Amino acid sequence: MSAPDPSPGSPLGALIARDIRLALRQGADSMMVIVFFVLVVVLFPLGVGPEPAILGRIAAGVIWVAALLAAMLSMDRLFQTDHEDGSLELLVLSPLPLELQFLAKATAHWLTTGLPLIIVAPLLGLLLNMAPAGYPVMLLALALGTPSLSLIGGVGAALSLGARRSGVLLSLLVLPLFIPVLIFGVSAVDAGLTGSAAKAQLLILGGLLLGAVALAPWAAAAALRQAAE
Protein backbone atom coordinates (compact mmCIF):
# COMPACT_ATOMS: atom_id res chain seq x y z
CA MET A 1 0.00 0.00 0.00
CA SER A 2 1.57 3.29 -1.00
CA ALA A 3 0.76 6.79 0.18
CA PRO A 4 -1.12 8.51 -2.65
CA ASP A 5 0.36 11.98 -2.17
CA PRO A 6 2.82 12.55 0.63
CA SER A 7 3.67 16.12 -0.39
CA PRO A 8 3.68 18.42 2.61
CA GLY A 9 0.58 20.55 2.90
CA SER A 10 -1.88 18.05 1.47
CA PRO A 11 -4.27 16.84 4.18
CA LEU A 12 -3.57 13.18 3.43
CA GLY A 13 0.19 13.63 3.55
CA ALA A 14 -0.09 15.77 6.68
CA LEU A 15 -2.01 13.03 8.48
CA ILE A 16 0.47 10.31 7.48
CA ALA A 17 3.40 12.52 8.45
CA ARG A 18 1.85 13.38 11.80
CA ASP A 19 1.21 9.76 12.75
CA ILE A 20 4.71 8.68 11.71
CA ARG A 21 6.19 11.60 13.62
CA LEU A 22 4.17 10.73 16.73
CA ALA A 23 5.22 7.07 16.47
CA LEU A 24 8.90 8.02 16.14
CA ARG A 25 8.84 10.63 18.91
CA GLN A 26 7.16 8.19 21.27
CA GLY A 27 9.68 5.67 19.95
CA ALA A 28 9.02 3.20 22.73
CA ASP A 29 5.75 2.14 21.08
CA SER A 30 7.26 1.13 17.76
CA MET A 31 10.36 -0.37 19.33
CA MET A 32 8.28 -2.39 21.78
CA VAL A 33 6.42 -4.07 18.93
CA ILE A 34 9.67 -5.21 17.34
CA VAL A 35 11.13 -6.39 20.63
CA PHE A 36 7.91 -8.28 21.37
CA PHE A 37 8.05 -9.89 17.92
CA VAL A 38 11.64 -11.02 18.47
CA LEU A 39 10.98 -12.25 22.01
CA VAL A 40 7.97 -14.37 21.04
CA VAL A 41 9.97 -16.04 18.27
CA VAL A 42 12.96 -16.57 20.57
CA LEU A 43 10.71 -18.29 23.12
CA PHE A 44 9.86 -21.10 20.69
CA PRO A 45 13.25 -22.85 20.60
CA LEU A 46 13.15 -22.78 24.40
CA GLY A 47 9.69 -24.33 24.41
CA VAL A 48 9.96 -26.99 21.70
CA GLY A 49 13.64 -27.78 22.14
CA PRO A 50 16.66 -26.91 20.00
CA GLU A 51 16.16 -29.65 17.38
CA PRO A 52 17.08 -27.85 14.08
CA ALA A 53 14.82 -30.02 11.93
CA ILE A 54 11.72 -29.28 14.02
CA LEU A 55 12.52 -25.55 14.22
CA GLY A 56 13.09 -25.34 10.49
CA ARG A 57 9.72 -26.93 9.85
CA ILE A 58 7.72 -24.63 12.18
CA ALA A 59 9.68 -21.45 11.41
CA ALA A 60 7.18 -19.97 8.96
CA GLY A 61 4.22 -20.57 11.27
CA VAL A 62 6.00 -19.16 14.30
CA ILE A 63 7.07 -16.01 12.49
CA TRP A 64 3.59 -15.41 11.12
CA VAL A 65 1.83 -15.96 14.46
CA ALA A 66 4.33 -13.68 16.19
CA ALA A 67 3.76 -11.04 13.51
CA LEU A 68 -0.02 -11.22 14.04
CA LEU A 69 0.37 -10.82 17.81
CA ALA A 70 2.84 -7.97 17.41
CA ALA A 71 0.49 -6.19 15.01
CA MET A 72 -2.33 -6.66 17.54
CA LEU A 73 -0.22 -5.17 20.29
CA SER A 74 0.27 -1.89 18.47
CA MET A 75 -3.28 -1.66 17.16
CA ASP A 76 -5.05 -0.01 20.09
CA ARG A 77 -2.92 3.13 19.91
CA LEU A 78 -4.16 3.79 16.36
CA PHE A 79 -7.19 5.85 17.46
CA GLN A 80 -7.10 5.65 21.26
CA THR A 81 -5.05 8.79 21.92
CA ASP A 82 -6.92 10.77 19.26
CA HIS A 83 -10.16 9.74 20.94
CA GLU A 84 -8.95 10.74 24.38
CA ASP A 85 -7.50 14.16 23.56
CA GLY A 86 -10.36 15.34 21.33
CA SER A 87 -8.44 15.09 18.05
CA LEU A 88 -10.86 12.48 16.74
CA GLU A 89 -13.78 14.96 16.86
CA LEU A 90 -11.79 17.45 14.83
CA LEU A 91 -10.68 14.78 12.37
CA VAL A 92 -14.29 13.68 11.87
CA LEU A 93 -15.20 17.34 11.24
CA SER A 94 -12.31 18.06 8.88
CA PRO A 95 -13.06 18.27 5.16
CA LEU A 96 -10.95 15.22 4.19
CA PRO A 97 -13.30 12.19 3.94
CA LEU A 98 -12.98 9.93 6.96
CA GLU A 99 -12.42 6.90 4.73
CA LEU A 100 -9.27 8.48 3.29
CA GLN A 101 -8.16 9.52 6.77
CA PHE A 102 -8.42 5.89 7.82
CA LEU A 103 -6.28 4.80 4.86
CA ALA A 104 -3.72 7.43 5.84
CA LYS A 105 -3.61 6.26 9.44
CA ALA A 106 -3.39 2.60 8.42
CA THR A 107 -0.53 3.50 6.06
CA ALA A 108 1.33 5.27 8.85
CA HIS A 109 0.69 2.30 11.15
CA TRP A 110 2.06 -0.13 8.58
CA LEU A 111 5.15 2.02 7.95
CA THR A 112 5.95 2.17 11.67
CA THR A 113 5.14 -1.45 12.61
CA GLY A 114 4.60 -3.72 9.59
CA LEU A 115 7.68 -2.56 7.70
CA PRO A 116 10.08 -3.00 10.66
CA LEU A 117 8.60 -6.49 11.21
CA ILE A 118 9.42 -7.40 7.61
CA ILE A 119 12.95 -6.09 8.07
CA VAL A 120 13.71 -8.22 11.15
CA ALA A 121 11.86 -11.33 9.90
CA PRO A 122 14.86 -12.75 7.93
CA LEU A 123 17.00 -12.61 11.08
CA LEU A 124 14.40 -14.61 12.93
CA GLY A 125 14.21 -17.08 10.06
CA LEU A 126 17.95 -17.58 10.47
CA LEU A 127 17.45 -18.08 14.20
CA LEU A 128 14.86 -20.80 13.54
CA ASN A 129 17.00 -22.55 10.94
CA MET A 130 14.65 -21.84 8.07
CA ALA A 131 15.83 -23.20 4.71
CA PRO A 132 17.19 -20.48 2.36
CA ALA A 133 14.54 -21.24 -0.25
CA GLY A 134 11.85 -19.90 2.08
CA TYR A 135 13.17 -16.35 2.51
CA PRO A 136 12.08 -14.63 -0.71
CA VAL A 137 8.58 -16.07 -0.45
CA MET A 138 8.32 -15.19 3.24
CA LEU A 139 9.28 -11.56 2.57
CA LEU A 140 6.83 -11.32 -0.31
CA ALA A 141 4.07 -12.91 1.76
CA LEU A 142 4.77 -10.58 4.69
CA ALA A 143 4.83 -7.56 2.37
CA LEU A 144 1.38 -8.52 1.04
CA GLY A 145 -0.04 -9.73 4.36
CA THR A 146 1.01 -7.14 6.94
CA PRO A 147 -0.81 -4.21 5.25
CA SER A 148 -3.98 -6.30 5.49
CA LEU A 149 -3.29 -6.72 9.20
CA SER A 150 -3.03 -2.93 9.63
CA LEU A 151 -6.30 -2.39 7.74
CA ILE A 152 -8.33 -5.15 9.40
CA GLY A 153 -6.88 -4.34 12.80
CA GLY A 154 -7.73 -0.68 12.24
CA VAL A 155 -11.42 -1.56 11.85
CA GLY A 156 -11.24 -3.46 15.15
CA ALA A 157 -9.47 -0.52 16.80
CA ALA A 158 -12.20 1.85 15.60
CA LEU A 159 -14.95 -0.49 16.77
CA SER A 160 -13.49 -1.00 20.23
CA LEU A 161 -13.01 2.74 20.92
CA GLY A 162 -14.52 3.74 24.20
CA ALA A 163 -14.86 0.17 25.45
CA ARG A 164 -13.48 -0.37 28.92
CA ARG A 165 -11.06 -3.20 28.17
CA SER A 166 -10.51 -2.25 24.59
CA GLY A 167 -7.26 -4.20 24.26
CA VAL A 168 -8.87 -7.55 25.05
CA LEU A 169 -12.00 -6.77 23.05
CA LEU A 170 -9.84 -5.77 20.11
CA SER A 171 -8.04 -9.13 20.13
CA LEU A 172 -11.32 -11.03 20.26
CA LEU A 173 -12.71 -9.00 17.37
CA VAL A 174 -9.70 -9.02 15.14
CA LEU A 175 -7.68 -12.21 15.63
CA PRO A 176 -10.34 -14.42 13.97
CA LEU A 177 -10.28 -12.06 10.98
CA PHE A 178 -6.50 -12.46 10.71
CA ILE A 179 -6.87 -16.23 10.14
CA PRO A 180 -7.05 -16.13 6.31
CA VAL A 181 -3.89 -14.03 6.17
CA LEU A 182 -2.19 -16.50 8.51
CA ILE A 183 -3.25 -19.58 6.54
CA PHE A 184 -2.16 -18.31 3.15
CA GLY A 185 0.93 -16.58 4.53
CA VAL A 186 2.21 -19.80 6.09
CA SER A 187 1.24 -22.01 3.18
CA ALA A 188 3.02 -19.67 0.76
CA VAL A 189 6.27 -20.10 2.70
CA ASP A 190 5.71 -23.86 2.95
CA ALA A 191 5.26 -24.02 -0.80
CA GLY A 192 8.48 -22.07 -1.25
CA LEU A 193 10.32 -24.44 1.08
CA THR A 194 9.15 -27.57 -0.77
CA GLY A 195 10.13 -26.02 -4.08
CA SER A 196 6.63 -25.75 -5.55
CA ALA A 197 5.20 -22.51 -6.85
CA ALA A 198 3.76 -20.17 -4.21
CA LYS A 199 2.05 -17.99 -6.81
CA ALA A 200 -1.49 -19.05 -5.89
CA GLN A 201 -1.06 -18.26 -2.20
CA LEU A 202 0.60 -14.93 -2.94
CA LEU A 203 -2.21 -14.01 -5.32
CA ILE A 204 -4.76 -14.81 -2.63
CA LEU A 205 -2.83 -12.66 -0.13
CA GLY A 206 -2.88 -9.87 -2.70
CA GLY A 207 -6.60 -10.38 -3.16
CA LEU A 208 -7.16 -10.21 0.60
CA LEU A 209 -5.21 -6.95 0.67
CA LEU A 210 -7.26 -5.46 -2.17
CA GLY A 211 -10.44 -6.53 -0.41
CA ALA A 212 -9.25 -4.93 2.83
CA VAL A 213 -8.32 -1.68 1.04
CA ALA A 214 -11.77 -1.57 -0.53
CA LEU A 215 -13.89 -2.49 2.50
CA ALA A 216 -12.01 -1.59 5.69
CA PRO A 217 -12.17 2.23 5.23
CA TRP A 218 -15.97 2.22 5.09
CA ALA A 219 -16.37 0.00 8.12
CA ALA A 220 -13.81 1.95 10.11
CA ALA A 221 -15.22 5.34 9.13
CA ALA A 222 -18.70 4.30 10.29
CA ALA A 223 -17.26 3.09 13.60
CA LEU A 224 -15.26 6.31 14.06
CA ARG A 225 -18.33 8.47 13.47
CA GLN A 226 -20.10 6.49 16.20
CA ALA A 227 -17.14 6.90 18.54
CA ALA A 228 -17.02 10.68 17.99
CA GLU A 229 -20.66 11.20 19.05
Partner 1 sequence: MGQFTGSGLSSFRGQRLVFRGLDFDVGEGAMLHLVGPNGSGKSTLLRIMAGLLPVIEGQLRWDGTPLAEDRDGHRARLLYVGHADAVKGALSVTENLQFWCDMSGGGDMAGALERFNLGSLADLPARFLSAGQRRRLNLARLAAVPAALWLLDEPAASLDIASAAILEQAIARHLADGGCAVMASHGRHPPDGMVLALDQYAGNMADLGDPVL
By CB under 8 A, residue 229 contacts partner 1: yes
Q: Which is nearer to partner 1, 47 or 229 (CB)?
A: 229
By CB under 8 A, residue 26 contacts partner 1: yes
By CB under 8 A, residue 92 contacts partner 1: yes
Contacts of 60 (CB under 8 A, 6+ apart): 130, 134, 138, 185, 186, 189, 190, 193
Closest CA to 43 of 69, 8, 24, 14: 69
Least separation, in Å, of the C-beta of 26 and partner 1?
6
By CB under 8 A, residue 94 contacts partner 1: yes
* CA angle, 5 then 12 then 6, to 5°: 30
By CB under 8 A, residue 85 contacts partner 1: yes
Closest CA to 146 of 55, 38, 69, 62: 69
Exactly one of 6, 10, 57, 190 binds partner 1 (CB under 8 A); which one? 10
Q: Compute how many residues bind partner 1; rule: CB under 8 A.
A: 28
Contacts of 21 (CB under 8 A, 6+ apart): none
By CB under 8 A, residue 14 contacts partner 1: yes
| Binding site residues, partner 1, CB under 8 A | 8-11, 13-15, 18, 21-22, 25-26, 81, 84-87, 89-97, 228-229
